Structure 1
Amino acid sequence: MSIALSVFGLILIFFLLRRMQASFKFKKEVQTLFSESKSNWKKKFYKDQLDKLPEPVQRYFNYVLKEGQPYINYARIKHVGQFKPGIDKDWINVKGEQYASTQRPGFIWKGTTSLFVAKDMYISDKGRLLVSILSLFNIVNASGEHYDQGELLRWLGESVMYPTNLLPSERLKWTPIDSNSAKLNFGYKQHSLFFKITFNEIGEITEMETKRYMDEKNLETWLIKTTDYKLFENVLIPTGFDVIWRLEKGDYSYAKFIITEAEFNNPKKF
């Protein structure tokens, strides 16, 4: 009996040490993300910046931003929701926290479920996906060119949560399509990315569509649908997200998130 208890105690200590190690590593990754991106605290949004933009894009910024709104350099966000780890898998509950920088593109997201912990990130101009069981053993550790592109696309699409990042700049341009849509083009390093953006009549972004690698070979249509705009620190952002692969056999929704907290320009871990 005493031997069994000793073995159990050693396993428990090992588990706790690995959890502490994983927590410390995540904290360091957040610190790296924020430290690599400089801030421009004096830069503010003014409506004359919108004069040459397509009409639906002007409608969007007039809706979500206020005159004199400071640019968002950093964001930290929490959400709840559901995640489907495979087309034939069931939905599982997930809680997430995410940190993003804008001056230098970057983010890190950690999603925790009852089965696994996942980390998606774009830090130091590199994309990576990690999935571990109980924070102990990695079952996915993926990186490379396709992940660089995919994670940068995620950061760009999720800029609706830090919308001054969607204002025109040297690397971001808007071109018209019609009265309710426009094309967003973004260039960074070797990447040339785009989204087709759909707006509703009041100015909300409701859908974002692009091409993203679903795996190592297949470039597929990727959609982000957004709903339920709410005010956080004087900024209107969507709080409902449905992330979808549009495949030949139909739409495959795999992530449904609801934002519960959003803070800006506070470059610290929760």
Structure 2
Amino acid sequence: MFDLLLFTIVLCLALFLFIIVLGENLYSLMIEEQVNYLRLIVSYAALPLPRDTGLLPEPVQRYLSFAGAGTCASAESVRMKYHGKARYGKKGRWLVLGGECAFSIAVPGFWWRATLAYLPGVWLDRFDYYVDHRAGMNLNLFSLIPLSNINNSEIVSPALFRYLSCTPLFPMVHAHCTFIQWHPVDNTAARAVITDGTVSAEALVRFDERGWMESMNCIHESSTTNGQPAPGLVSCLYSSYFDFNGYRIPEVTEAEFILPDGERFEAEYILDSIDFEPCITKIHGDGA
């Protein structure tokens, strides 16, 4: 009787582990599809020419000078690893997280993966992307059980804002790409508009007297067909700037999201590593 019980327990554990491994492999295939697609787009995208930054609002010019964006060469893409913490709601329990992400520079595009330790031995996998005008937000338990997956047109604009909110990590995009336009507000703020095809997103960006980009807030939170706020990032705070390859970029980013169920989600990301993929020789575009 004991042997049968032990065999049943071992069999259940083996089956559970097999399902976890299978789910992880299927999840990885889904991620790899978007990663490869973004890499393909980057390889064919025309390199943007340097733009006339003298026409930008004064706070933006101050930021570009501080960040070194106008003095260093551009790049094709950037890839990062990070760690941090996150919580659901204002009073939720902080969860440890870690992950990696990548952004294209010639055209708006990114993928973002995070693993959250929910309980010992229990983790959540999050994978978000914006590739070729399509966006997705995926949250799975054990990389296998879908908890909240959405990939419709309602999150395209929020995903585009998320790309914009991450540009302090690769500031050369503001000196080379005209798909981000700036409009003056005052001597400490400017309005940024990012456009990709027929979709756009707007943000109010604040700077300090040194040139630091301090914060970015979505001006018009997108709405779903039922009038609820569309899921996605809505605000960011940047701090702990440091020098890297001639640029000044923030080490710490605090972000606030709206989840598909309407709940607020807060996260703090601390940069572990960053790698700029250099440009290869190919035809330049107009930066649009």
TM-score bucket of the superposed structures, by smaller chain = 0.7 to 0.9
8 Å CA contact retained: 2:241, 2:251 = yes
Cα deviations across residues 61-109 of structure 1 (Å, max 9, x unaligned)? Answer: 1111165411132011111111123345322111121111122211111
Q: Alignment partner for residue 228 of structure 2, among 218, 222, 236?
A: 218
Corresponding residue of 2:80:
77
Q: Distance in 2 between matches of 1:257 and 1:214?
A: 26
Corresponding residue of 2:38:
33
Q: Alignment partner for residue 240 of structure 1, among 249, 252, 267?
A: 252
Tell me the TM-score normalized by structure 2. Answer: 0.80
**Identity of counterpart residues, as a percentage?**
20
1:170, distance to aligned residue in structure 2 (A): 4.1
2:117 partner SS: coil
Q: Distance in 1 between matches of 2:162 and 2:88?
A: 17
**Distance change in 2, residues 1:219/1:258 (3 Å):** same
8 Å CA contact retained: 2:106, 2:177 = no
Q: Distance in 1 between matches of 2:64 and 2:202?
A: 19
Corresponding residue of 1:155:
163
Q: For structure 1, which segment, 86-95 or 201-210, has the greater mean C-alpha deviation from structure 2 after superposition?
A: 86-95
Q: Distance in 1 between matches of 2:235 and 2:25?
A: 36
The count of aligned residue pairs is: 260
**Distance change in 2, residues 1:58/1:125 (3 Å):** same
Corresponding residue of 2:277:
265
8 Å CA contact retained: 2:75, 2:278 = no
**Distance change in 2, residues 1:245/1:135 (3 Å):** closer
Q: Alignment partner for residue 209 of structure 2, among 175, 189, 201?
A: 201
8 Å CA contact retained: 1:243, 1:254 = yes
**Distance change in 2, residues 1:244/1:185 (3 Å):** same
**Structure 1 alignment gaps of length 5 or more:** 247-251
The yes-or-no answer on 1:141 pairing with 2:149 is: yes
Q: Distance in 2 between matches of 1:245 and 1:25?
A: 23
1:253, distance to aligned residue in structure 2 (A): 6.8
1:17, distance to aligned residue in structure 2 (A): 2.5
* Structure 1 moving runs of 4+ over 4 Å: 39-46
Q: Alignment partner for residue 17 of structure 1, among 6, 16, 22?
A: 22
The yes-or-no answer on 1:58 pairing with 2:70 is: no
Corresponding residue of 1:228:
240
Q: Distance in 1 between matches of 2:248 and 2:44?
A: 21
Corresponding residue of 2:191:
183
1:168, distance to aligned residue in structure 2 (A): 6.3
Q: Distance in 1 between matches of 2:13 and 2:253?
A: 42
Q: Distance in 2 between matches of 1:177 and 1:6?
A: 65
8 Å CA contact retained: 1:232, 1:263 = no
8 Å CA contact retained: 2:69, 2:174 = no
State the AA in 1 paired with 2:214: T
**Distance change in 2, residues 1:66/1:92 (3 Å):** closer
Query: Comparing both chains, which one has the higher relative contact order based on Cα–Cα distances under 8 Å and sequence gaps of 6 or more?
Result: 2
Root-mean-square deviation over aligned CA pairs: 2.7
Cα deviations across residues 169-222 of structure 1 (Å, max 9, x unaligned)? Answer: 443221211111111122221213211111111111001121334876334993
